[in-house]
Amino acid sequence: MILLVEIVSVTKKGQATIPKRLRKKYGIRSKVIVEEDEKGILLRPLPSPGEDFGSLKTIFRGKSSRELLQEARKEETDKEREWMKSVGAADL
């Protein structure tokens, strides 16, 4: 459901001005979250930690920063092990 359509200019640097009415309505201050899907892009206000603790969990599939870090480290370790096997080096 589209409520209103507005056209904004985009500069050579890729900057677009969000209309004041929308910034005020959605509480947009200095940063927004840019989400991309098959339909296009969506800008959402970035909540401050005090306003909406844990709100980014939806973007990161409900995982904490610690869980994301552990997952990334495991992936890197697995890649290193595969590489070591491919070059014939001993196990870590």
Question: Do 48 and 59 belong to one domain?
Answer: no
What pLDDT digit, counting tens, does each position of 28-54 carry? 988 899 999 998 999 988 877 655 555
Residue 65 lies in a domain: yes
- 1, part of any domain: no
What percentage of the chain carries pLDDT values higher than 70? 80
**Is there a domain that residue 11 lies in?**
no
The boundaries of the domain holding residue 79 are 54-87
In a domain, 92, yes or no: no
Spatial separation of the C-alpha atoms in residues 55 and 8, rounded to whole Å: 28
Lookup: tokens for 7:
């056209």
Structure tokens at 31: 């940063």
Structure token digits, residue 26:
């959605």
Contact 43, 32 (CB under 8 A): yes
Confirm whether 10 is domain-assigned. no
Of 11 and 47, the structure prediction assigns the larger pLDDT to: 11
Residue 45 sits in the same domain as residue 59:
no
Number of domains in the chain: 2
